[in-house]
Amino acid sequence: MRVFRRVILPVAWLAVFAVIAVTLVKIAFVDGLKPDDAVAGPSAQVAIPVVQAARATVTNSVEIKATVQSDAPVGVRSAAAGVVSHIFLEAGAKVALGERLYQVRTELPPEPIEETEQSTTTAGEPGASPPRQVARVPLYTYTDVLAPVSGTLETMTVLLKQQVGVGEVTGTVNPGTFTVSGSVNAAQQYRLLAKPGSALVSVVGGPAPFTCPTVILKNNASSDTPATGGGGGLASAGGGSVGRSVPYAQAGGPAGGGSAPEQDNTPTGTLSCAIPSGVEVFAGLGATMTVTAGESANVVTVPLTAVQGSVKDGIVWLAPAGSVPAAGGDGGPAGPGAAGSAAGPPAEAPANAAPPEQRKVQLGLNDGTVVEIVSGLAEGESVLEFVPGAPAQEQPGAQFGPGPMGG
């Protein structure tokens, strides 16, 4: 036991410490001098999205959020000046268009006085007598004041023997009708230049969708030029259907000093339509008006994001030479009738390629996603999917950041 404690145990501890020391020396002076393996870091290649012009069917349908409103009462105006001689109806009565409400008596101007008998003696001579005259009988005309519209006689402010003047408002008739009306912005007004004649109205919590036959489009009060749809809307030169492009910045991007304004949703006009009689609605109900202003079948189209311009005229940027299809698709055009898609999966152009070439095109209808190319671009030609300098589009999908808590 004494030998184990004095000889064997110390030798064992020395062996352990020696192994530890050798290991530390190897790690510090042998393995530490070897070159580290290269670690692959994150990398990315900037590519320019490219899309091909393809044939599709473009349906120019505009959806507008609207509200059901009661039509304002119509004033009853006196058609003549005079005294009220008779009242046919009182306030609260149901009236029809053209029905008599009250009557106005107007006295005619006096006629010249006629001599009935005169002496044969010359006036001024002795014995001459003054002529005798016939008393004038007053003459009157009677004018009926009629209801301007059908409805309920809401107010009647005239009394018997009251003096009224021409054009004086003497009451109101509530037509009991409704109008659905909603605001439109400048982009929607451009899309409605083709003068829609009717709208499909869907009332929240109301009856089944129904057709509103007469659509009226007019500018806000700040504009002096009204515009109507169906009954005579904003006229486009040439009478053809026209489209619009998304109002992006000028070509050249931020480096060129231009900024990219966002699309303005400020209301610039009002679209309204009289609700047909027999449709049960109430004032204040929400509604959606769907207005279709033209359809173009099997036409050359590109995404709206690829076009810069205004009504009829636009500019696209041709893809540089050497563009390659993006991963996951061949970049080929979509088949005819592919509504809502101008082309297949976008292609990508090298970031170091030559600057894209501008080309003017003629625009037709658009559905808010794609726009018809009337001329200037052939089917299959590749253009930049986004206007140079346009703001980045937020892509749907997973977002970076802390996720929801809990399991």
C-alpha distances in Å from residue 113, one per residue of 128, 131, 133, 163: 21, 12, 7, 28
Residue appearing with tokens 């145990």: 9
Per-residue DSSP letter, 208: S
Sign of CA dihedral 280, 284, 286, 288: positive
- Cα separation, 78 vs 281, in Å, equals 33
In the prediction, which pLDDT does 178 show? 94
Per-residue DSSP letter, 33: G
Q: For each successive 10 residues of the chain (407 residues), what is the average pLDDT?
A: 77 85 79 62 70 89 91 94 94 94 90 56 56 69 94 94 94 94 88 81 91 86 45 38 35 36 71 90 92 88 84 85 52 41 51 76 87 90 85 53 48
In the prediction, which pLDDT does 80 show? 92
In the prediction, which pLDDT does 253 show? 37
- Cα separation, 221 vs 225, in Å, equals 9
- Cα separation, 386 vs 392, in Å, equals 9
In the prediction, which pLDDT does 356 show? 81
| Residue 250 CB contacts under 8 Å (≥ 6 apart), including other chains | 256, 258, 308, 389
In the prediction, which pLDDT does 134 show? 58
Could you please report the per-residue DSSP string of 283-325? Answer: TT-EEEEEEEEEEEEEEEEEEGGG-EESSSEEEEEEPPTT-EE
Per-residue DSSP letter, 13: H
Q: Write out the residue limits of the CATH 2.40.50.100 domain(s) in the chain.
A: 72-107+138-176
- Cα separation, 388 vs 394, in Å, equals 16
In the prediction, which pLDDT does 312 show? 83
Distance of CA 168 to the CA centre of its chain: 39
Residue appearing with tokens 């709206």: 304
Write phi, then psi, for 97 (nearest 5 degrees).
-60, 125
Contact 364/296 with Cβ under 8 angstroms? yes
3-class DSSP assignment, residue 250: coil
Query: From 3.40.50.970, 3.90.1300.10, 2.40.50.100, 3.30.70.2190, which CATH number describes the 72-107+138-176 domain?
Result: 2.40.50.100
In the prediction, which pLDDT does 246 show? 35
- Cα separation, 319 vs 347, in Å, equals 9
Comparing CA positions, the residue from 85, 63, 218, 213 lying closest to residue 144 is 85
